[in-house]
Structure 1
Amino acid sequence: MTRSVIFDFDGTLAIGHGPVVAYAKQVAPSAGADFVQRVEEALRTFDAGRSTYRDGYHVVGELAAQDGVSSGTMNQAYQASREILGTAEAPVAAPEGLAGLLEALREHAELHLATNAPGVGVEQVLDSWGVRHLFDHLHFSVGKPDGLYPILREALQLGPVMAIGDIVEFDLQPAIDLGADTALVGATAAESDADVTLRGETLNDLRGELVTWAAQPPTQ
């Protein structure tokens, strides 16, 4: 039996609104006045737990839609922002002790990264953090939530699965549907009424519980 841990990237492994603000800046020339400032204000509300947005990208998308920005422009802006991911123009931070957590989990489980983002930008960030080699499987442009089901089903054939993410409907609901364990992190974790296994502000808050889960002996 092989346990598997499936991580989301943005908002789970990559912390901070740098990439979202970079995205907003790419959109801004096609949006209304003070677009970036409006995004930043909405992000502060989201961080305070007083928002119905899923995450920062949802903020940008909704405000841009209100300004009449086309989907084609949004796609181009998103791709441009991902190309500078992890640079000073789109900074991100890893949760404290990420490498140590991944190493501890890897002693007992296969580690997956499953993100809707393209590989560009994400791989360079993982390399810069020195953790890319700790993942057994990297899944990009997954198309969550639907695209997460086959990844989960394949992993569940091997043993128990823990899905970790910051957006319930994208990162965790497929796992809930299939009977896998789940961990919700991020700004919505404290107030969400989702039926998840674990929850915490960051991965570091769940370190002990995640390692304990991964180290559980096989059951007959």
Structure 2
Amino acid sequence: MTPTIVFDFDGTLAVGPGPILAYAKLIAPAAGADFFDRARTSLLAFESGASEYRDGYAIIGALADSDGVDPEITQAAYYASRKLLGTDQAPVSTMPELADFLQELRAHARIVLATNAPADGIDAVLTSWGVDDLFDEMRFTIGKPDGLIALVTEALAAGPVLAIGDIAEFDLAPAAELGADTALVGATAHTSPAVVTLRGRFISDLRSDIHTWAATAASHNTASPDASSSLER
């Protein structure tokens, strides 16, 4: 039996508002006055936990809709912004020592990247982080939440699964319904009512817990975290 860890990309492995601000900037010429400033203010509120949106992209999309922006313009802006991913126009960062972390996990589990985003820009970012060859599988434009079902079902047939992401209803709920464990990260990690196995603002906050999950799953034992662990029961 082989455990599998499924990582989301945006808001999970890749953090920072750069790509979302690039998206907003590309929409701005077709939107109302001060669109970019309003977008930036709304994103700051989201990052502080003072927003009910699922993620930053949903915020920008809602603002564009309210300004009457043609959906085709919004979609084109999204795809154009993805081509800027990882550049000075759409910078992202990741957890410290990501390569070491993934190498540690690979000793116990398969590592899968599953994202709704297109591949544009992601390969280059992963290469710049030195982790492009550390995923056993990468799936783009997977169509979460429904698109996650087949992947997790297949992985569960081989062993335990841990799904990690920043949008509970997209990245985690389909996996949890199938019996997988879940880890919620990102701006909603401490405010979401979702029932998850682990939660923390950043993956780095959960590094030890995720490693423990992988090692335990590989040995077919049940982890018994101490009182300081962020594992939920």
TM-score for the superposition, normalised by structure 1: 0.98
Q: How does 1:1-220 map to 2 (within 5 A)?
A: 1-216=1-216, 217-218=219-220
Check the 8 A contact 1:97/1:204 in 2, yes or no.
no
What do you get for the CA RMSD once the two structures are aligned? 0.8
Deviations 1:56-83 (A, max 9, x none): 1011000000011122111110111000
Unaligned runs of 5+ in 1: none
The runs of 4+ residues in structure 1 deviating greater than 4 Å are none
Q: Percent of pairs identical after alignment? A: 57
Amino acid at match of 1:46: F
- Measure the CA separation in 1 of the matches of 2:96 and 2:72: 37
Deviations 1:119-174 (A, max 9, x none): 01111110111101000000000010010100110101000000000000110010
TM-score for the superposition, normalised by structure 2: 0.93
Check the 8 A contact 1:23/1:77 in 2, yes or no.
yes
- Measure the CA separation in 2 of the matches of 1:170 and 1:42: 21
| SS of alignment partner, residue 39 of structure 1 | helix
93-102 or 183-192, which deviates more:
93-102
- Measure the CA separation in 2 of the matches of 1:151 and 1:91: 29
- Measure the CA separation in 2 of the matches of 1:126 and 1:69: 33
- Measure the CA separation in 2 of the matches of 1:64 and 1:85: 21
CA drift of 1:176 comes to: 1.1
Deviations 1:51-107 (A, max 9, x none): 001111011000000011122111110111000100000000011221121111111
Amino acid at match of 2:157: Q
CA drift of 1:191 comes to: 1.3
